[in-house]
Amino acid sequence: MRIAVIGGAGRMGLSNCEAILEAADTELAGAVEGAGHPAIGSDIGRLLGRDPLAIAVTADLEAVLADADVAIDFTTPAASAAHASIAARIGRPLVIGTTGLGATESATVAAASHKIAVVQAANMSRGVTLLQALVRQVAAALDEDFDVEIVEMHHNRKVDAPSGTALALGEAAAIGRGVDLETAARRARDGLTGPRQAGTIGFAVLRGGDVVGDHSVIFAGAGERIELSHRASDRQVFSRGAVAAARWVTRQAPGLYSMEDVLGLRSGG
């Protein structure tokens, strides 16, 4: 299976290229960067600290897609939306790991998924996908006597907050409770906030160092507390998940899928 990597010279892009090269059944079809990126023209093997692979980073997404079975995109919200439209036009399935998409960008991805199969997930790790299912289950079992708080920490170069994973965990808790996350979420607290409002879902964000991604969901009741945590120490967990999603998505009908679909957890809620 030939897989194209979009955002190929980024932190996750390089990790995705590595995962494709390491798996026995996948080939790197090409690495795409935005026009003007300094890595364009460089050999992707060299960028990975390997021997040259005779694959130069290019800005020509259409040519790379034409020669690939599927693409993995970890770029920016605007770029991922544009890439979904191009993949739909060319007819290649897509795996999107980019986080922080707004309503318009999400609508563009949803429109593309009428023509191609798309897996979109804020976190491609198996552990976090399972965590989401667990959070949904725990939230469904507990009532509003348990306050839900979500804490995340990432490296100091992350640009969106709370993380897409934290928001997805919040969504899982909201679904479990049967409430709307937009209404229940408290994304920041500062100053004289007053006491905590029952039923809300709080978020706390930490940034620093090279933390790959830590998430905890805390259910705090009177006299007891349940904490469900996941810590990623290596970007390869996301990349291996993205490659698994790429294998899976090539066999699907057009539609918008999640990692829970890829791992067969959809009905296990």
33 interacts with ligand NAD by CB under 6 A:
yes
Q: Out of 83, 115, 154, 230, which one is annotated catalytic?
A: 154
Does the annotation count 83 as an active-site position?
Answer: no
- Distance CA(169)–CA(175), nearest Å, equals 10
Does the annotation count 115 as an active-site position?
Answer: no
- Distance CA(7)–CA(59), nearest Å, equals 10
Nearer to ligand NAD, 147 or 216 (CB): 216
Location of structure tokens 């007891």 = 224
Shortest CA distance to 204 belongs to which of 171, 167, 175, 232?
167
Q: Which of 3, 10, 71, 202 binds ligand NAD (CB under 6 A)?
A: 10
Reading the block at residue 8, the tokens are: 């190929």
C-beta nearest to ligand NAD: residue: 10
CB of 17 to ligand NAD, least distance (A): 12
30 interacts with ligand NAD by CB under 6 A:
no
248 interacts with ligand NAD by CB under 6 A:
no
Q: Return the axis-axis angle of helices 103-112 and 77-90, rounded to nearest 10°.
A: 20
- Distance CA(186)–CA(94), nearest Å, equals 32
Q: Which of 146, 203, 219, 238 binds ligand NAD (CB under 6 A)?
A: 238
Would you say the C-alpha torsion 30, 159, 211, 188 has a positive or negative sign? Answer: negative
Active site residues per annotation: 154, 158
Footprint of ligand NAD on this chain (CB under 6 A)? 6-7, 9-13, 32-34, 37, 74-76, 79, 97-100, 121-124, 164, 238
